[in-house]
Amino acid sequence: MGTAFDDTSRSRQPHRVAIPPAKPFLQTLKSNLKETLFPDDPFRELKKQPSASRKLLLGLQYFIPILEWAPRYTFAFFRADLVAGITIASLAVPQGISYAQLASLPPIVGLYSSFVPPLVYAMLGSSRDVAVGTVAVASLLISTMLGKEVSPVENPKLYFQLAVTATFFAGVFEASLGFLRLGFIVDFLSHATIVGFMSGAATVVCLQQLKGILGLVHFTHETDIVSVMRSIFTQTHQSKRKSYFFWINAMAPLTSVVLGSVLVYFTHAEKHGVQVVSMNTRRNLKKGLNPLSITDLAFGSPHLMVAIKTGIITGIIALAEGVAVGRSFAQYKNYHIDGNKEMIAFGTMNIVGSLTSCYLTSGPFSRTAVNYNAGCKTAVSNIVMAVAVMFTLLFLTPLFHYTPLVVLSSIIMAAMLGLIDYEAAFHLWKVDKYDFAVCLGAYVGVVFGSVETGLVIAVAISLVRMLLFLARPKTGLLGNIPNSMIYRSMDQYPNAESVPGVMILQIDAPVYFANANYLRERISRWIDEEEDKLKSRGGSSLQFVILDMTSIGNIDTSGISMLEEVKKNTDRKELKLVLANPRSEVIKKLDKSQFIKTIGQEWIYLTVAEAVAACNYMLHTCNPKHVTTAEANGQDSNV
Amino acid sequence: MGTAFDDTSRSRQPHRVAIPPAKPFLQTLKSNLKETLFPDDPFRELKKQPSASRKLLLGLQYFIPILEWAPRYTFAFFRADLVAGITIASLAVPQGISYAQLASLPPIVGLYSSFVPPLVYAMLGSSRDVAVGTVAVASLLISTMLGKEVSPVENPKLYFQLAVTATFFAGVFEASLGFLRLGFIVDFLSHATIVGFMSGAATVVCLQQLKGILGLVHFTHETDIVSVMRSIFTQTHQSKRKSYFFWINAMAPLTSVVLGSVLVYFTHAEKHGVQVVSMNTRRNLKKGLNPLSITDLAFGSPHLMVAIKTGIITGIIALAEGVAVGRSFAQYKNYHIDGNKEMIAFGTMNIVGSLTSCYLTSGPFSRTAVNYNAGCKTAVSNIVMAVAVMFTLLFLTPLFHYTPLVVLSSIIMAAMLGLIDYEAAFHLWKVDKYDFAVCLGAYVGVVFGSVETGLVIAVAISLVRMLLFLARPKTGLLGNIPNSMIYRSMDQYPNAESVPGVMILQIDAPVYFANANYLRERISRWIDEEEDKLKSRGGSSLQFVILDMTSIGNIDTSGISMLEEVKKNTDRKELKLVLANPRSEVIKKLDKSQFIKTIGQEWIYLTVAEAVAACNYMLHTCNPKHVTTAEANGQDSNV
């Protein structure tokens, strides 16, 4: 081992660069499509099975995961799921009515939404930890986007219809993403975007909830900070600050609701200015399970486009949270969940929800974390929660008539303050300034503009960053690490030494049309600068330019033209162009475009070290100009 | 040399991976901005000069290149430029009136456009070969986009005003791109896009010109092939095919125009159904130089937005052609042109043009090639051409009253047929199928949809390709090339041998939010598959996972989270994660985010070979599980 290089300075080409055999186009396309759409190879197990009936069972289990784990379900699991389910139900009830209030929907819709969707998810979901429920940010989005179109106070029936229609489209959109295996679209919402976006939305929600806490009646429905602040400052002068129950927001949500309601019931505070749930809605809280809402789907409404837009935006935001939460906890417990399958589960749950008077649900982080901490084992905890909510719907709803709004506002604020994640933002600033800019863009966009503005800003900054990486790839000179055959960037390793007469240039990105012109100019500038430097030192002149192509993952025809022009340029300057380690995709295309013939197969080396050795051999044993003419097969006759 | 590896199997870490010192954020930002906006370092020469007056002169020469080369201008140069100038003038006159007809503008506007803009370009342009003039594709675009808004037949004055207004905005847009150093936006129109787009536009123009050649009067103004074909098929039945002069299109443009006009003059064919130039326009051809058109700029018009949109689209298309043509010929003659400076020159020339009754001009390929072949030396050939056109305007315009339209159509078609570059398309298909798809998208979009559709399709496909490269980076296993210390992809080098107990994984793209989730799942699948494979063979089990990070040019915080999760995953499977050759940007961020501490500095190697040597040492001298626990500083206590 380790002796392979010892004779490279004598033998010209110890290792050939392999040109992989050309694959048929359709085969390449198929394998690329598979890698793009089925990166996790979901049917791997299925393919291993020999019998057809076993395949059918596995296929069914793939689409309906409960069939897979139910037979193995034990009583010990159930005991754990029961405890977890009751725990999350105690969170689901107050959060349900609070978030429904945030979405400007009747509180009972929040309870409906904690009954049907968890049952659907328990059948189809592949996560064992996700607890299904409504989410604050999506609720806020619904009230902002639909509230602009239809007033929930003046026209509550139409508003409710638009909300379930939006939920329907959110579900269709989510399920389609999953079916079409386009789940990776959600990945374009980066961690930094989510941090900034959530913090911004939480800030807006907290400001809005001052309405409930300060007991303001004429509160703006706009979400941006300017109108909220103006609204607060103009109204606090008019109305008396009713902060009787302000201290409650530190306590557990259910305790707050129960205590608040009991207090109002006995003191009749609702008659002395404390706003309670029933006052805030046109639909009273009625006992009973979810009524069907198929006829409420407003497909013929003139506001249909707004409902669709709201559905798609809230759908993707809810999906991003739900899938990320599911993935994190799966990783934690070391099991695998399939993102695209999760999307189908979330989508189906929202489609069914929209038919049964529910609005948008997802897998909220807070409720899932409680579920996990309470020791849930499977999705049965969601079923337990649904049953508990069902009992509430059947027997306990009249009690919420006395729940003061201030309690709900406090619950929302308590949840929201946890979402303002300044520590994460600080971490972004410390590690990656660009990610911090993305996060800040999302935050500022949401707080000072609108939710959509924030999203667009953050996604645009993120994409520009990636495109800039491609449009302006890093290039740099390599040098020899002393006492080794290793060549590394002289910027990163200041002790690396340049090789006399040889310039080794590394390109750090695929060569595409977007950077071909830049690279051509940059490479020619590197050569000019190197020649100037050598001239000013009066030492040996530049004879060889080695391009280290290790990091060039792919190339297109514009990139090949660029290489051809670099070759013409070096020919003109009487320099020899040498390639080191072209990768599979690149060497294939260089071969097809005849560039290998232009440059000469003998000037392509497997490693930089071998290329340098060959150059050194040329420099020391013969006149390089003579070599150039002899090697170039008469192509550069002016040399 | 070559002995450095000999003792790596014993010594643990012969070469340390350097963590470059942290630079202040503002300094990094400054150098990044400089590389993005000033990649060619245009003021390099300026900075070298010591005296202020010399700096001023160089600065002036930078912005007005004629100041730089005029003092060195010789009579020999002038003789060459005179010949070239007269040659291109003989092309400019017939092309000018033909393309003006294509743009539905009075023919004389085409001549105006070959007088003022070349003079402006001669002052400001840095190319020695570009011959300025109107271009066919932009002319077509103007008539399509403006013709939808205002009919050039019914309202020629307003149409002319919109055309000069669009030219003004095209100039402002082009100059702004140059001033703001955003010239790289033009690079997003890839070679493949241009080939497909030009061929498509040429096809459409040829079909449209059948109007002139077949002598059809009621011809559609839509550009898409369906309406054109329908128009031809419905009209050829009605009108007689008047192909008297069909044979002329093979001859040189000027000869055709002169012969055609002479023939019409003597036979009075214009009275027997042959359409001639003067019949086709409301404004007759008047003698005299360009009238001012400042008052024609329609800033207050209700059609202003259409003019701006037309200006921006035609501006960028014309710019792409002009800059690409200038660059190609500069490369050919081995001098350098600055893309951004060229944009300022083109922009200024169009702004001035829009004030002097000219419409959009650029550096068309055909005229520039003629200029080059005629032996031009400097931009003086443009001045000669302008003077020749001036004489034509002053004394010869009445002659064109007798030029038959069919001659102009033939000139256009002859130029256009050369643009349908099926050989280039075939080359794209052979070398890069994806580029071929881009080209085909542009072609089909232009021919069956509209010019904008074609552009949008092609740019979208190109961007999706780049984003897919980032979203689905290639990963692959590395193996040892026999009898060497070299590790290369086992796909590309089938003779590469895997190392027992060690999996070496290479990632071929920067790790960003867009691929972090994919990479996490893909890496975990690689590990599972490798473990399955080893298990089925019953050999040694997997102990080490080496990530070759050579091609990871950058990483963001989502990428770092991904690595942290991969580390947790390998810990859980009792595998040791080893990093090889993290690059400058990556190691900096791994350091800041404390990931180096998590993985242990001693598990980061400079080369794959050194990492493998260390793993082998562990495998053969001690129990790896013992090592894992001992090395990991208690972080993975469950091992």
Contacts of B489 in chain A (CB under 8 A): 583-584
Q: For the residues A561-582, what does the mean pLDDT come to?
A: 91
CB nearest A551 (choices: B432, B471, B550): B550
Return the HEC string of A91-110. Answer: HHHHHHHHHHHHCCCCHHHH
Q: For the residues B584-594, what does the mean pLDDT come to?
A: 90
A592 touches chain B (CB under 8 A): yes
What is the pLDDT confidence band of residue A494, given thresholds at 50, 70 and 90? confident
Contacts of B515 in chain A (CB under 8 A): 187
- For helices A365-373 and A304-333, what crossing angle results, to 10°? 30
HSE of A264 in the Cβ direction (CA atoms, 13 Å)?
A: 25
For residue A605, the distance in angstroms to the closest alpha carbon of chain B comes to 12
B13 touches chain A (CB under 8 A): no
Contact B137/B442 with Cβ under 8 angstroms? no
What is the pLDDT confidence band of residue A124, given thresholds at 50, 70 and 90? very high
Contact A2 B558 (CB under 8 A): no
Nearest residue on chain A to B552, judged by CA atoms?
A551
Which sign, positive or negative, has the C-alpha torsion B120, B124, B128, B130?
negative
The share of chain B scoring above pLDDT 90, in percent, equals 23
- The interface predicted TM-score of the complex, written ipTM, equals 0.78
Measured between alpha carbons, how far is residue A174 from residues A177, A609, B52 in Å? 5, 52, 65
Contact A40 B525 (CB under 8 A): yes
Report d(CA A573, CA A313) in Å as an integer: 57
Q: For the residues B62-74, what does the mean pLDDT come to?
A: 86
Render pLDDT for B419-440 as a digit per residue (tens, 0 to 9). Answer: 788 888 898 888 888 889 999 9
Give the model's pLDDT for residue B631: 41
Contact A428 B557 (CB under 8 A): yes
Q: For the residues B550-565, what does the mean pLDDT come to?
A: 90
Give the model's pLDDT for residue A251: 37
Contact A20 B432 (CB under 8 A): no
Ranking A8-17, A402-411, A574-583, B143-152 by mean pLDDT, the lowest is A8-17
Ranking A54-63, A132-141, A597-606 by mean pLDDT, the lowest is A54-63
Closest CA to B410 of B240, B267, B259, B210: B210
- CATH domain B4-17+472-631 topology: Transcription Regulator spoIIAA (3.30.750)
Contacts of A469 in chain B (CB under 8 A): 510, 512, 553-554
Return the HEC string of A123-161. Answer: HHCCCCCCCCECCHHHHHHHHHHHHCCCCCCCCHHHHHH
In the predicted model, is pLDDT for residue A628 greater than 50? no
Render pLDDT for A271-281 as a digit per residue (tens, 0 to 9). Answer: 666 666 653 44
Interface of B with A in 453-492 (CB under 8 A): 462-463, 465-474, 481, 483-486, 488-489, 491-492
Q: Compute the count of residue pairs across chains A and B with CB atoms less than 8 Å apart.
A: 261
Interface of A with B in 257-286 (CB under 8 A): none
Q: Structure tokens of B15?
A: 């070469």
What is the pLDDT confidence band of residue A237, given thresholds at 50, 70 and 90? very low
Give the model's pLDDT for residue A636: 35
Give the model's pLDDT for residue B273: 62
Of A522-526, B165-169, B490-494, highest mean pLDDT: B165-169
What is the pLDDT confidence band of residue A286, given thresholds at 50, 70 and 90? low
Report d(CA A472, CA B38) in Å as an integer: 11
CB nearest A470 (choices: B1, B466, B474): B466
In the predicted model, is pLDDT for residue B61 greater than 80? yes
What is the pLDDT confidence band of residue B347, given thresholds at 50, 70 and 90? very high
The share of chain A scoring above pLDDT 90, in percent, equals 23
For residue B487, the distance in angstroms to the closest alpha carbon of chain A comes to 10
Render pLDDT for B111-146 as a digit per residue (tens, 0 to 9). Answer: 999 999 999 999 999 889 899 999 888 888 898 889
Contact B615/B578 with Cβ under 8 angstroms? yes
Tell how strand A475-480 and strand A487-489 pair up: antiparallel
Q: For the residues A487-502, what does the mean pLDDT come to?
A: 89
User: What is the residue extent of each domain of chain B?
Assistant: 4-17+472-631, 75-426
Ranking A178-187, A234-243, B27-36, B551-560 by mean pLDDT, the lowest is A234-243
Q: For the residues B302-320, what does the mean pLDDT come to?
A: 90
At residue A295's C-alpha, the angle toward residues A289 and A296, to 5°, is: 80
Ranking A284-293, A583-592, B167-176 by mean pLDDT, the lowest is A284-293
Contact B431 A589 (CB under 8 A): yes
Contact A428 B518 (CB under 8 A): no
Q: Which of A191, A490, A522 to mutate against chain B (most B CBs within 10 Å)? A: A191
Contact B5 A485 (CB under 8 A): yes
CB nearest A558 (choices: B190, B463, B474): B190
Within 10 angstroms of residue A365's Cβ, the number of other Cβ atoms is 21
Give the model's pLDDT for residue A212: 57
**Domain A472-631 carries which CATH code?**
3.30.750.24
Give the model's pLDDT for residue A346: 95
The three-state secondary structure class of A304 is: helix
Tell how strand A487-489 and strand B576-580 pair up: unpaired
Laid out side by side, the sheet with B502-507 consists of: B487-489, B475-480, B502-507, B544-548, B576-580, B604-605
Q: For the residues B379-406, what does the mean pLDDT come to?
A: 84
Measured between alpha carbons, how far is residue A34 from residues A28, B245, B463, B542 in Å? 10, 57, 20, 27
Contact A187 B471 (CB under 8 A): yes
For residue B299, the distance in angstroms to the closest alpha carbon of chain A comes to 30
Query: Cα A576 to the chain's mean position, in Å?
Result: 46
B6 touches chain A (CB under 8 A): yes
What is the pLDDT confidence band of residue A548, given thresholds at 50, 70 and 90? very high
User: A11: exposed, middle or buried (C-beta count within 10 Å: 0-12, 13-18, 19+)?
Assistant: exposed
In the predicted model, is pLDDT for residue A42 greater than 80? no
Contact A435 B556 (CB under 8 A): yes
Average pLDDT value over all residues in chain B: 80
Those residues whose C-beta lies under 8 Å from the C-beta of residue B375, and which sit 6 or more positions away, are B80, B83, B84
Give the model's pLDDT for residue B479: 93
Contacts of B585 in chain A (CB under 8 A): 474
Average pLDDT value over all residues in chain A: 80
In the predicted model, is pLDDT for residue A120 greater than 90? yes
For residue B61, the distance in angstroms to the closest alpha carbon of chain A comes to 21
Q: For the residues B517-526, what does the mean pLDDT come to?
A: 88
Q: Which of B40, B189, B431 to mutate against chain A (most A CBs within 10 Å)? A: B431
Q: Which of B557, B567, B572, B583 to mutate against chain A (most A CBs within 10 Å)? A: B557
In the predicted model, is pLDDT for residue A122 greater than 90? yes
Contact A25 B433 (CB under 8 A): yes
The share of chain A scoring above pLDDT 70, in percent, equals 82
Contacts of B430 in chain A (CB under 8 A): 592-593
Burial A254-288 (b: 16+ CB within 10 A, else e): bebbbebbebbeeeebbeeebbbbbeebeeebeee
Query: Cα B505 to the chain's mean position, in Å?
Result: 35
Within 10 angstroms of residue A337's Cβ, the number of other Cβ atoms is 21
Q: For the residues A140-165, what does the mean pLDDT come to?
A: 89
Ranking A599-613, B321-335, B527-541 by mean pLDDT, the lowest is B321-335
Burial A181-211 (b: 16+ CB within 10 A, else e): bebbebbbbbbbbbbbbbbbbbbbbbbbbbb
CB nearest A493 (choices: B18, B474, B484): B18
Q: Which of B7, B189, B517, B531 to mutate against chain A (most A CBs within 10 Å)? A: B517
B295 touches chain A (CB under 8 A): no
Give the model's pLDDT for residue B521: 84
Q: Which residue has the higher pLDDT, A186 or A282?
A: A186
Give the model's pLDDT for residue B436: 92
